[in-house]
Each structure stands twice: as C-alpha cells, then as structure tokens.
A and B are shown apart, each in its own frame.
Chain A
Amino acid sequence: MLVADGLVRRFGELTAVDGVSFRIGRGETYGLLGPNGAGKTTTINMVAGLIAADEGTVTIAGERMDPSSVAPKRHIGLVPQDLAIYPELTARENLTLFGRLQGMTGPGLRKRVDEVIELIGLTERAKDLSKEFSGGMKRRLNIGIGLLHQPTLLILDEPTVGVDPQSRNQILESVERLSIEGMAVLYTTHYMEEAERLCDRVGIIDSGKLQAEGSQDELIRLTEGADHIRLAGSGDTNAAADTLRALPAVQQVVADRHSLQLTVTDAPTAVAEIVTSATAAGMTLADVEITRPDLESVFLHLTGKALRD
C-alpha cells in the first residue's frame, strides 16, 4: 500500500529526516514512535505529499507521491496534528466541504457524511458551528474528515495530543475498528502505550533516523540479555546514576528528578548490588521494580534516551 524509500528532508543546516524507509501493507497499522522533534511529522508530510522529499520516494498504491500529485492523494486520508477544521462551519459543512474536494457528490456524499457523523458521535451537534465544540469533539471531527472518503491509507499524526482520557479512548477504539475493517493506518505517536495497543509493526524514529522497525516482539528481542530496573525515590539521582554506571552489570542509566531507569544484564542477580550502590550514593529508595521489556525499554536500548514529551 505504502512504500517510503530513503526519505531525506533538510531545513537549512538541519536534516529533519535522514534516510527513512518503511512499508505498510493493506489492513496493517504501522506506528512511528519517537519523541517530539524526532522527524515523525516531517515524514508524514512527505508521505501525504505536503512537502517534497530532498531525496527518496514515496509510492502509494503503486503511484508516486509528491506535492504536485493528484491521483495518489485519492488513496490517503490525512488527520493532521493540528485541528484542521473550519471553526465558522458546522460539523456537517466541514465534512461536506472535504467530501466534495475528494470528489464525492450527491446522495452518496450525504449518506457518507451521516455515517461519519454517527461514527464520531456528533449526531446531536452536527448543525453546530465547530468553534462551539469541546477539544475532544474537535479532535473527533478532525479524524472524521480523514475517514470520510474511505481511504485505503489513513495517516494520523499524533491524534491524541491534548485530548481527555475519554476522547482518547474513543479515538483509539476507532483506529482499532478501522484496522479490523482492512484500512492501512500510519500512526505517529510519542506515547508508547498507544503504539503497543494499536500497531502491528512499529518504526522507532529518533533524530530523523529510523533506529529499528518490526513487530513489538521483534523489537523487544533486540533488547535480549538486557533487563530493565526502575528505582524510584529521592536524593541526588544524578550522583546515584554516575555511581551505578560504574557497575559491570549496568549497561545504561537514565535519570530524572525522582527515578532512575537502568538497562542491566541479568536483573535478578544484579539488583541487590544496584540497590546498595544507589543508597550509598545518597538516594533514599521508595520503590524498586524489575519490569518486563517493552517499547520504552527498546527505545532506551536503541537511543540511550527515555521516550517522553
């Protein structure tokens, strides 16, 4: 469905995307997981034909995509990170406008608009101006516009940013349903749990480069031999981190004000020495947790950084 091959995009001296390649098949949900500024949105913009790639190609349903393309854009539904809706139009008018721009007309358009309004839960508010909507309702309308013409590839750029937990859950359920219905989905997020819940395959992106990709199991296997320990407490976490890095079993340490995340070899054997050393370094521990490797662990393992806002 989608083939992105060797995408490069520079903004002056900055290389925002550096040789990113991935593929998405029909009915597959692919997640681009990375922190803010990793290059996710720039990648999406090239895939959706909003900006040109300096190098590399994007092919959608066998057709080459670039900003001047028309035909491949019929296959995609874009849900931008910003609320790309017109505040002075009603929900129905917003949907009808973009439906017409997608080439839909007449009773078919009206029927589909009704379906989408129901799908996004705005039946009661369909005739209200969208500027009067809550943030979550606007987000749902934003997604509804992307779904309207039943694209074969739905591109969602961080669709849950700034959304309340209830609306967030509704959005995730919608994406799961679409995937089941056979729609290919490209989903960018910096929330590990969203990628774990939704994505068949995940590409981990950082500093414009795709660090690794695969199913969750495949990615977690990359961390084989590396366990994860989390120490929570108070005291000088930076000093404790420096002490712990000197231990032979410790591969990586990421510190914040109240916790340390460690990648270690053979956690059950090493944990006693780690706790002793952290305490000796002045940290008062409140909690020690040996966790199962997850995408967070993978990101930490691959980049040496925590995946956070």
Chain B
Amino acid sequence: MRELWTMTQYDLRQRIRDKSLIIFSIIVPLALMFVLDLVLGDLTNPQLQPTTVAASVPAGDQLGAALVDVVRSLDGVEGMDITVRDAAADEVHDLTRDGRVQIGLIVPEGFSTALQQGKATDVTVVSGEGTGIEQSIVTSVVESTVNRFSAGALAAEAGAQSGLAPAELAAIGQEVATAESTITLAQGTASNEQLSPTGALVAGQAGLFLLFTVGFGVTALVAEREQGTLARLKSMPMPSWTIVTAKALVSFILGVVATAILLTLGGRLFNVNFGSPVAVGVLIVAAVVAATSLMFVIVRVARTAEQANIAQSIIALVLGIAGGAFFTITASGWVGTVMDLNPVSAFIRGLGITSGGGGLGDIGTPLLILLGFTVVVLVIARLIPDRGAAQ
C-alpha cells in the first residue's frame, strides 16, 4: 500500500505540473460551455418576441369576441408580450404584409351561428415576416379554443336531440366551453429526468471531458512503456498490480476532482442547480469509475502513446456526442436502448434527476447503467490481448 500511495502521489505531482491537465480538464470545457451556450442558447432556450395581433371580428359575434379575448389573455403568460388591435377583415392581410402587425386573425361572418348549428367555419390566422414560435402559440391557442367552442355546440345539439329544455342546453354548452381541463402539466419533478438546456450543456461537457481527464492516469501507462519508466517500475520490489492500481487511482482522483470543479463552477456560472450534493457526488464517482474502466481497454489495444490518444479522443467524442454532450439525441428501439447504456447519457440523466429534486434513492437506474458499463468494459479489457506488452 505504501508503494501504491507513493506512485499515486508522485504521479499526481507530475500531472499538476504538466499544464495540459488543467487546460484540457477545466479551462477548455468551461470555455466550450460558454461558446456553446452562446451558439446554441437561442435554439435551446428561445426568447419570445413582442407580437401584435390584428384581429377582425364581425360586429355582435359573441364567440368571435370571446376567441379574441382568449388570444389577448396570452399577454404576460410565460414571458409572452401580446398586443391585440382591432382591424377590418380586408385590412388584416395588408397589416401583416407591411409588417405593422406580426399576426392577423380573421373571424368570419356568422362564426357564432355556424358553431351553434354545428356547421363548418374557418378562422384565418395570417403570419407576417419573421414570426416563429409566437405564431405557433397563437395558432395553437386559437385552434384549441375553437375546438372547445365546437365541443360545446355539439354537446348542446346532443342535449336538444335528447329533449332537454333550452335553459339546460345553454348551461351544458357553457359548461363544456368553459370547463377547466382535467389534464394538468407537472413542473420539474424527480421523475421527469429533464435538465434545463443550459444544465444539460454543463452536465454534458463535464461528462465528455471526464473521458479525457481520466486518460491522464491510465493511458500514461502506454507513454511510460515507451519512455522506459514502466520497465524500471516493474523492476522494483513490489507486486506488479500496484503499478496498474496506482495509475487507476490517479485517473480516479483526477476525474472526480475535475468533474466536481466543472459541475460546481458551471453550475454557478450558468445558474444551474444540480441538487443534492451527496447524490451528485455518488453519480460523479460512478461516472469516473466507468470512464476509467474504458481506459484499460485503450491501454490493452494501443501500442504507442499516440495510438492511445487517438483512440481515447474517438471514444470520448462518440460517447459524448451520442450521450448528449452537445445536444440531445433521441432514438427509439434498440438504438435508443444502446444509447441509454452510454455512460455520458446515464450521467446526464442522473443529474437531471438530482436537479429535479431527486435523491440517492431516485438515481438507481443511471447508477446501475454506469456500474454495468464498468463491469462489462473491465471484462472486455481482461479478455483482449495486450498488444503493447506483446511487442
């Protein structure tokens, strides 16, 4: 054990002196987080623009007026800035074309009557230049409101056929059209495993660069084989397993420290809360162990330090991209299952759970994935021939 600690201690001293560790494990990922947040921020976290809607409603059409009121009520909801101005039907197209309003809404003549009689009718939504998500929201709201009006009319018609009194029919129609939805959306809980786009970016970059950081320990074995220090270490009076264990310990320590720093700094800089420190700590340890196990495969396959670096970069980028280090990739079927077994995606998934309030008891699945990955990879590393030692 004394030899193990001595080798680990001196190895860590060298890694710290070698500036590339701090550059590649801390500075580069933090810089990438900033750059990616700037580049992808608008895509993953869109900002809604102020929007003016020109609405044309026939005089005295109550349901048409109600529809426009629903659109008007969107103002102030979830950051929306909606202004509704009245316009004549023939003005609406000109206003949107000229850019004076962003969206036009035309309620046709006889809209209320048509709905009450169950007849077909069209509400026109006109999109102006540069409208995007705002137009989609208004269209969706108009569509769902019109559907509810139709449902109310159909319910009233069904009641009339059943011989209900006009007062009861009106009440049914009113009830259907205005009732609260029985379906509600839940805000981020432990079960939804979703990080905010920025949180996913921080977690993804930490997961990706973990695969590079652990290489400073184990894959150094390949470099030491080349420079001759491995031969000298093997000539020392100590069991040979202590050499490999010391390198794995170095990888582990570097991986845990670097990832903890990245998540802490990244969390503070980008205002992301990853939740329970204990649960996050356990996730980091499991992810570092999984990443370190991968390095043992590289050490067995690579004959030179250059080969080891290339193999490590390829594996890190493939697992990082597939695991969602840059953007979320969704897949179904067996491809989706395989992608779920990726240690980077398991790490991000686990952080999603902790970020949503989950604790140790909730991260069992990602932990099992990371543990299973480690076991399988270590078995593979044990079985494949050691090409470097065979030279």
Q: Which residues of A contact B (CB under 8 A)?
A: 11, 45, 48-50, 67-68, 70-71, 73-74, 76, 78, 80-86, 88-89, 93, 97-98, 100-103, 129, 145
Contacts and interface: CB of A to CB of B under 8 A. Distances in A.
B232 A70 contact: no
5 contacts: A45-B231, A70-B238, A83-B227, A93-B13, A101-B237
A70 B228 contact: no
A16 B3 CA distance: 33
Nearest to A45: B231
A50 B234 contact: yes
Contact of B7 (A70, A80, A83, A101): A101
B14 A89 contact: yes
Chain B contact residues: helix, strand, loop or mixed: helix
A83 B240 contact: no
Q: Which 8 A-B pairs have the closest CB atoms?
A: A82-B228, A84-B228, A88-B14, A84-B232, A73-B237, A78-B235, A101-B236, A74-B237
Contacts of B237: 70-71, 73-74, 101-103
Nearest to B11: A86
B147 interface: no
B229 interface: yes
A70 B239 contact: yes
Nearest to A81: B228
A106 B229 CA distance: 24
Contact of A100 (B6, B17, B232, B239): B6
A49 B6 CA distance: 22
B330 to A, nearest CB: 44
A100 B240 CA distance: 16
Contacts of A67: 234, 240
B239 A68 contact: yes
Contacts of A49: 234-235
B10 interface: yes
B198 to A, nearest CB: 37
Given A83-B228, A84-B227, A100-B6, A73 B235 contact: yes
A162 to B, nearest CB: 13
A101 B227 contact: no
A98 B232 contact: yes
Contacts of A50: 231, 234-235
A101 B229 contact: no
B18 interface: yes
Interface of B: 2-3, 6-7, 10, 13-14, 17-18, 227-229, 231-240, 390
Contacts of A45: 231
A127 B17 CA distance: 14
A82 B13 contact: no
Contact of A102 (B7, B17, B234, B236): B236
Contacts of B14: 86, 88-89
Contacts of B233: 101
Given A68-B239, A85-B229, A100-B2, 12 more contacts: A49-B234, A49-B235, A50-B235, A68-B240, A76-B235, A80-B228, A100-B3, A101-B3, A101-B6, A101-B237, A102-B237, A145-B232
A11 B239 CA distance: 24
Contacts of A145: 232
A88 B238 CA distance: 23
Nearest to A96: B10
Given A68-B239, A68-B240, A81-B228, A86 B10 contact: yes
Contact of B231 (A73, A80, A89, A102): A80
B14, B235, B390: most-surrounded residue (chain A CB, <10 A): B235
Nearest to A49: B235
Contacts of A80: 228, 231-232
B231 A82 contact: yes
Contacts of B236: 73, 98, 101-102
A45, A100, A102, A129: most-surrounded residue (chain B CB, <10 A): A100
Nearest to B2: A100
A89 B13 contact: yes
A82 B229 CA distance: 8
A98 B364 CA distance: 43
Contacts of A48: 231, 234-235
B7, B13, B229: most-surrounded residue (chain A CB, <10 A): B229
A295 B10 CA distance: 44
B10, B232, B236: most-surrounded residue (chain A CB, <10 A): B232
Nearest to A93: B10
Given A81-B228, A86-B229, A101 B238 contact: yes
